[in-house]
Each structure stands twice: as structure tokens, then as C-alpha cells.
């Protein structure tokens, strides 16, 4: 098998990856970008190159901002491979990926993990029923296919993406049956302590307030401070039941869209054995890196939301910073310190709002750590919260052991949709912090590979 | 189970269209969309049955992470339909339970 070599191999074509590629190309580096999706954009700018004008108008200015980045990427001279599924990464920069039914290998002098974020698991009763999706998933359908809900739709949870989707649906003329908000009433008070940062990031704050005002005026039924969620239905979602101010409410719906923020997609960084830290603010794992995103002594960097949740614009700047730093390592960049300093100032502008958002939209314990024993946690192997707590009573100490107890985390998603929940359930049951409970040991192949794909 | 579609694609007029077959039923859909989007907008409300409990499942994440959208495509089992674009003449079936290892030989 011939092994290609590139100065920089980038995994993921969202804002981080595209911006890093543009910067690296401006330094004269050879760049190969691998991406699972057919076209560039990642999830935030999904479909950016083909979205019609009406669709772009519905999605809004922040989405449309991706066009310029995608256009710059296309003329940058970077090689883009769409439909390329990375299944292995080694610390020496070797990447194995499947494209067109064949496995290929490329070695990067440096590799940038730019795999972005995924929606945080929202384990509640009935969340495995057809008709229950992440709000981000529904937004991807809108961005990539112009697909909109046809029947009764309920949005439930909290976080900027949920409000944004509601606003986009409103603009598309879709009636939202109910908006079931889980933002804790006391979180508003706690968040005011971070108002200084939010005011420095006033543009983001104003945008958020405008969004909420528009939604309030849209006339959708709005329930705040809700709890005890249960998706009801026989074989498919038929409604969402919850408690609201001491009353039981049931909203009929064929589509229930759940969301409680996004977390870094850390599958690749775990798979190379990188150390990760538990973020008590964002309630997720983040790879341990130096200030530029480098993982230990490896030739591997991570930037954007796959390092820690920072949002699209900050991710793009981090991508550029990382590319400059790699250029410095390769000895090709001139006046690099000045360029790094400029970008770092710009980056700080986009991070002011973050602690305010983290506090305001911190997902409540009951939506991360199911109290009911019958709630499915591992969707693939159908392991419940109660079963995991039983494992702990039998002496199970951490996520890896749950595999031996009941195949938890051993299905095709390889723990992506149960890992955080399992760590926190065990943490809660044992009275030990998540940092000491740890996570699954993630091993390659991180995506399923067919034997025929490995054959020459 | 096929029911009223959860999603529709109102702006599909004027697009290039392709035809795929879902369990023998022809679906004409806009070129370039994912197989998952094509099925969701044509009344397919469950894509697979779960491996342990044989419960119906459908796409949850639409970005290649949850593996709930698995289907058989052109007799290849357990394909992530949210990551694969529709192609004219594609044959799609539900993924029932775990994938058979020798499925190609059986057909």
C-alpha cells in the first residue's frame, strides 16, 4: 500500500478544519483534509455550499457567515477528501481511513483533530423511540436537505442551539407545539455573576436576547422550569409528558427534539491514549493539551470544539492559531509571534460570553443522571441506569468494567452516546468525582470497518 | 413501519431527482441528500430494530455518532444512512437486529 505524506492532515471540515487549512496553505504547507461528510462545512455550516437562498435566509446570518470560509478553503489549494471515514490515528501521525470502500493510509508530519462537537446525551424515559431526535439532528436535516417537520413538534431542553432551531422553524413557518424549557430558574441568578464577561461579549448577548424575544412573540406554548420528562408512545413518539409547577402536563407530538448543549467529540483523542480532564463547568471530558492544542509529545493537535466547547467563530480562530504554531514547528512561518498575538486577542473577544452560557445552560442533574432505573443509558446494548447502579453495588468501579458486567458501551456507537452518562451515574452512586471515575478506554477502529475495505 | 412522514422537503421542485428503492418501494428524492433524510421525508419512521430487544429505532444524531440510522444498502449491512448520499438505483432495506456476517453469500 502506498502511503501518502502531507505536512498537515486535518480530520474534520468544520470551521476549525477549514480555517486551519487556509492558514496552513498560506504558509505553503501541503494539507490533506479528511471528512466523513460528502461536502465541507462540518455540522455548523452543513450544506453551506449548496443551500438555496431561501434556506440560508431561514438559517440566519451566523450560518451564512460560513460561505466565505468555505469559499476561501476551496481556493486554498488544500486537498479535500469527502466521504473519508477515519478509523485509526497513531501518535506518529499515521491516519487510516476508508474512502469508496477501500482503506487508505496517510502520514501527516502533523495531524489536527478538528472533529467538533456532538449533542450531549439526554437520557430520559422513551428517548430511544423513533420520532425522538436531537435538536441538532433536526437542524442538520434543515441545513443539508431543507427538510422540515410535518406534524406536531415539541422542543425540549436548554441551550443556544435549541433557541436557534426554534427561531429558524419560526422563520420557516413551522408551528412549534410547545417549547419545554429546562433552564433552571435559579440559573439566571447564578449567571448574573458572570454578567461582566457577557457584557464584554455584548454582541453575543444581544443576539441571544433578540432570539428569545422573537420566540416569546411567536406564540408557541412555553413551559419553563420543567422536570420529570417521559416520551410516551407505542413503537414511536406520540407525546412528551413532564411536570410543570407541580402539575403533570402531556403534549401530543410525533416529533420530540431534545437538546441540552454540546460536548467535545473526543473519540479520536481518547483513541490515541491522550490524557483527558473532566471539566466541572461544561460537565464533559476535554483532551489535555498545551496552549496551542498539542497532545503531549505527539505530532497531534486538537482545536475548536473537539478541544473544549468554544463555538464556531472561536473554533476558526483556534484552527488558524494551531496552523501557525505548526508552521513555526516546521520552520516556515515568518513574523509568527505577531500573527499569533493578533489572533489570540481576537479569540479572547469570542470567549467572553462562555462562562455566562456555561452557568445559565448547565444541564440539570436529573437530565444527565437518570433517577428512574428503567431509563436506557446505553442505547446500543440496551443497558439501563438501574443496571449500571446494580453493577456498582456488585463492585463495579468505572465505565470500563461496565463492559464486562453487561456489554454497556460495547455497541456500534462505541460509547459515544452513553459514556458521559455512565461516568456520572457511577460517580453519583459511589460518591466519587467524575475525574476519578474516568471514561471508557477507546480503541481503534473507532468506526466499523468491513474486511473487504481492508483488502488490497 | 411506514407512517405519515416526520419531515418533508418543500423546496425539492427544481432539483435534480434520483430514484432509490426502499424495500421494493420506489422513492424519488432530491439528489445529494443523505439516505436518512430521504427515508425520513418519505414516511419511513423506523430504520432498524435494536440488537438486544428488537425495538424499532430511527436516526437520533444525523451526524454519524449514534448508529441508530443503520440500514442495508445494496445488500451491504449496517450502513450509516446519515453519512451516505442517495444514488440513483440504490436499494435500501431496514437493518433488522445485528448484521449477518455472510450476507453477500446468502444473496
Residue A1 predicted with pLDDT over 60 = no
Which of A239, A260, A281 is the endpoint of a domain?
A: A260
User: Does one domain contain both A143 and A242?
Assistant: yes
Please give the average per-residue pLDDT across A188-200, as a whole number.
Answer: 81
CB contact under 8 A, B11 and A37: no
Query: Which tens digits make up the pLDDT trace of A294-322?
Result: 999 999 999 999 999 999 999 999 999 99
Count CA within 13 A, CB hemisphere, residue B99.
20
Please give the average per-residue pLDDT across A32-50, as a whole number.
Answer: 96
Comparing CA positions, the residue from A231, A248, A211, A243 lying closest to residue A364 is A243
User: Rounded CA gap, A123 and A192, in Å?
Assistant: 29
> Which of B3, B60, B70 has the most A C-beta neighbours within 10 Å, making it the best mutation to test the interface with A?
B60
Instruction: Report ipTM (2 d.p.).
Output: 0.95
Q: Per this entry, what is the length of chain A?
A: 456
User: Does one domain contain both A209 and A301?
Assistant: no
B74 touches A at CB < 8 Å: no
Establish if A191 belongs to a structural domain: yes
**What pLDDT, on the 0 to 100 scale, is given for residue B106?**
45
CB contact under 8 A, B6 and A417: no
Query: Which tens digits make up the pLDDT trace of A17-27?
Result: 999 999 999 99
CA A90 to chain centre: 23
Kindly report the CA angle at A99 between A93 and A103, in degrees rounded to 5? Answer: 60
Report how many domains make up chain A: 3
Chain A: residue whose CA lies nearest to B57: A130
8 Å CB contact between A292 and A279: no
**What pLDDT, on the 0 to 100 scale, is given for residue B104?**
53
Residue B107 predicted with pLDDT over 70 = no
Establish if A445 belongs to a structural domain: no
**What pLDDT, on the 0 to 100 scale, is given for residue A208?**
81
Neighboring chain A residues of B65 at a CB cutoff of 8 Å: 118, 265, 413, 416-417
> Which of B30, B42, B53, B68 has the most A C-beta neighbours within 10 Å, making it the best mutation to test the interface with A?
B68
Establish if A349 belongs to a structural domain: no
Which overall architecture, per CATH, does domain B10-95 show? Roll (3.10)
User: Does one domain contain both A144 and A252?
Assistant: yes
Neighboring chain B residues of A132 at a CB cutoff of 8 Å: 60
8 Å CB contact between A190 and A148: no
CB contact under 8 A, A146 and B55: no
**What pLDDT, on the 0 to 100 scale, is given for residue A455?**
87
Find the CATH number of the domain harbouring A78: 3.50.50.60
User: Does one domain contain both A216 and A306?
Assistant: no
Residue A202 predicted with pLDDT over 60 = yes
Banded model confidence at residue A2, pLDDT cuts 50, 70, 90:
low
Which of A195, A228, A260 is the endpoint of a domain?
A: A260
**What pLDDT, on the 0 to 100 scale, is given for residue A294?**
98
User: Does one domain contain both A134 and A100?
Assistant: no
CB contact under 8 A, B8 and A118: no
Which of A260, A286, A305 is the endpoint of a domain?
A: A260
Q: Are strands A247-252 and A132-134 parallel, antiparallel or unpaired?
A: unpaired
User: Does one domain contain both A157 and A280?
Assistant: no
Comparing CA positions, the residue from A201, A90, A18, A62 lying closest to residue A446 is A90
Establish if A415 belongs to a structural domain: yes
Q: Are strands A276-279 and A153-158 parallel, antiparallel or unpaired?
A: unpaired
B103 touches A at CB < 8 Å: no
Please give the average per-residue pLDDT across B65-87, as a whole number.
Answer: 96
Comparing CA positions, the residue from A158, A131, A144, A175 lying closest to residue A59 is A144
Average pLDDT of every residue of chain A:
94
Domain ranges, ordered by start, for chain B: 10-95
Neighboring chain A residues of B3 at a CB cutoff of 8 Å: 236
User: Does one domain contain both A142 and A248?
Assistant: yes
Neighboring chain B residues of A38 at a CB cutoff of 8 Å: 32, 85
Kindly report the nearest CA distance between residue B21 and chain A, in angstroms: 19
What's the DSSP call for residue B12? G
User: Rounded CA gap, A194 and A156, in Å?
Assistant: 25
Question: Which of A11-15, A171-175, A251-255 is the least confident region?
Answer: A171-175
Residue matched to cell numbers 449567571: A191
Range of the domain at A301: 4-118+263-333
Banded model confidence at residue B101, pLDDT cuts 50, 70, 90:
low
Please give the average per-residue pLDDT across A43-71, as a whole number.
Answer: 95
CB contact under 8 A, A150 and B1: no
User: Does one domain contain both A125 and A253?
Assistant: yes
CB contact under 8 A, B67 and A50: no
Please give the average per-residue pLDDT across A196-220, as a whole number.
Answer: 79
Strand, coil or helix: A243: strand
Kindly report the nearest CA distance between residue B83 and chain A, in angstroms: 6
User: Does one domain contain both A9 and A114?
Assistant: yes
Kindly report the nearest CA distance between residue A406 and chain B, in angstroms: 12
User: Does one domain contain both A241 and A294?
Assistant: no
The residue that leads in pLDDT, A348 or A217, is A348
Query: Which tens digits make up the pLDDT trace of A110-144?
Result: 999 999 999 999 999 999 999 999 999 999 999 99
Establish if A230 belongs to a structural domain: yes
Q: Which of A304-308, A350-354, A447-451 has the highest mean pLDDT?
A: A304-308
Long-range CB pairs of A432-435, under 8 A, 24+ apart, other chains included: A433/A278, A434/A278, A435/A277, A435/A278
**What pLDDT, on the 0 to 100 scale, is given for residue B1?**
47
User: Does one domain contain both A125 and A256?
Assistant: yes
**What pLDDT, on the 0 to 100 scale, is given for residue A82?**
96
Task: Give the cell for residue A284.
Answer: 464533559
Banded model confidence at residue A192, pLDDT cuts 50, 70, 90:
confident
Establish if A449 belongs to a structural domain: no
Please give the average per-residue pLDDT across B94-105, as a whole number.
Answer: 74
User: Does one domain contain both A178 and A251?
Assistant: yes
CB contact under 8 A, A236 and B33: no
B89 touches A at CB < 8 Å: no
Q: Among A119, A145, A379, whose Cβ lies nearest the Cβ of B33?
A: A145
Amino acid at each position: 500500500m502506498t502511503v501518502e505524506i502531507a505536512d498537515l492532515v486535518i480530520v474534520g471540515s468544520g470551521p476549525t478544519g477549514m480555517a486551519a487549512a487556509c492558514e496552513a496553505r498560506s504558509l505553503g504547507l501541503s494539507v490533506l483534509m479528511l471528512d466523513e461528510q460528502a461536502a465541507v462545512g462540518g455540522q455548523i455550516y452543513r450544506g453551506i455550499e449548496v443551500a438555496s437562498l431561501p434556506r440560508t435566509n431561514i438559517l440566519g446570518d451566523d450560518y451564512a457567515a460560513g460561505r466565505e470560509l468555505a469559499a476561501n478553503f476551496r481556493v486554498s489549494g488544500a486537498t479535500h477528501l469527502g466521504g473519508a471515514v477515519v478509523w485509526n490515528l497513531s501518535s506518529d501521525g499515521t491516519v487510516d481511513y476508508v474512502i469508496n470502500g477501500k482503506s487508505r493510509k496517510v502520514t501527516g508530519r502533523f495531524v489536527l483533530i478538528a472533529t467538533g462537537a456532538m449533542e450531549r446525551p439526554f437520557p430520559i424515559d422513551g428517548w430511544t423511540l423513533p420520532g425522538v431526535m436531537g435538536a441538532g439532528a433536526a437542524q442538520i436535516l434543515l441545513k443539508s436537505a431543507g427538510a422540515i417537520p410535518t406534524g406536531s413538534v415539541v422542543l425540549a431542553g436548554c441551550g443556544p442551539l435549541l433557541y436557534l432551531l426554534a427561531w429558524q422553524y419560526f422563520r420557516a413557518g413551522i408551528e412549534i407545539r410547545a417549547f419545554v424549557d429546562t433552564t433552571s430558574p435559579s440559573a439566571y441568578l447564578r449567571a448574573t455573576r458572570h454578567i461582566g464577561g457577557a457584557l464584554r461579549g455584548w454582541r453575543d448577548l444581544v443576539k441571544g436576547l433578540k432570539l428569545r424575544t422573537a420566540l416569546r412573540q411567536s406564540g408557541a406554548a412555553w413551559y419553563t422550569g420543567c422536570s420529570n420528562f417521559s416520551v410516551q408512545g407505542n413503537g414511536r413518539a406520540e407525546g412528551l409528558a413532564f411536570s410543570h409547577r407541580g402539575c403533570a402536563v402531556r403534549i401530543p407530538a410525533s416529533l420530540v427534539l431534545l437538546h441540552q448543549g454540546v460536548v467535545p467529540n473526543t473519540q479520536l483523542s481518547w483513541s490515541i491514549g491522550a490524557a483527558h480532564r473532566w471539566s466541572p463547568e461544561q460537565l464533559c471530558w476535554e483532551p489535555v493539551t498545551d496552549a496551542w492544542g498539542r497532545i503531549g509529545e505527539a505530532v497531534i493537535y486538537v482545536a475548536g470544539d473537539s478541544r473544549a466547547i468554544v463555538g464556531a467563530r472561536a473554533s476558526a480562530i483556534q484552527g488558524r492559531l494551531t496552523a501557525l504554531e505548526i508552521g513555526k514547528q516546521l520552520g516556515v512561518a515568518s513574523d509568527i509571534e505577531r500573527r499569533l498575538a493578533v489572533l489570540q486577542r481576537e479569540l479572547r473577544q469570542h470567549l467572553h460570553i462562555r462562562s455566562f452560557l456555561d452557568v445559565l445552560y448547565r444541564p440539570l442533574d436529573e437530565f444527565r443522571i437518570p433517577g428512574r432505573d428503567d431509563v436506557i443509558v446505553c442505547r446500543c446494548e440496551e443497558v439501563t441506569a438501574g443496571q449500571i447502579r446494580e453493577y456498582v453495588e456488585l463492585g463495579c468501579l468505572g465505565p470500563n468494567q461496565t463492559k464486562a458486567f453487561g456489554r454497556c458501551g460495547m455497541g456500534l456507537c462505541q460509547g459515544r452516546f452513553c459514556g458521559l452518562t455512565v461516568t456520572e451515574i457511577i460517580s453519583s452512586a459511589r460518591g466519587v468525582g467524575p475525574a476519578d471515575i474516568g471514561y471508557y478506554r477507546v480503541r481503534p477502529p473507532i468506526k466499523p470497518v468491513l474486511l473487504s475495505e481492508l483488502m488490497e | 413501519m411506514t407512517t405519515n412522514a416526520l419531515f418533508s422537503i418543500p423546496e425539492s421542485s427544481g432539483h435534480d431527482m434520483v430514484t432509490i428503492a426502499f424495500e421494493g418501494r420506489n422513492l424519488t428524492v432530491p439528489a445529494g441528500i443523505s439516505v436518512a433524510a430521504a427515508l425520513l421525508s418519505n414516511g419511513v419512521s423506523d430504520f432498524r430494530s435494536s440488537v438486544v430487544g428488537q425495538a424499532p429505532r430511527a436516526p437520533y444524531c444525523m451526524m454519524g455518532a449514534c448508529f441508530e440510522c443503520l440500514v442495508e444498502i445494496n445488500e451491504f449491512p449496517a450502513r450509516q444512512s446519515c453519512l451516505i448520499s442517495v444514488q440513483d438505483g440504490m436499494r435500501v432495506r431496514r437493518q433488522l437486529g445485528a448484521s449477518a456476517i455472510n450476507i453477500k453469500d446468502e444473496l
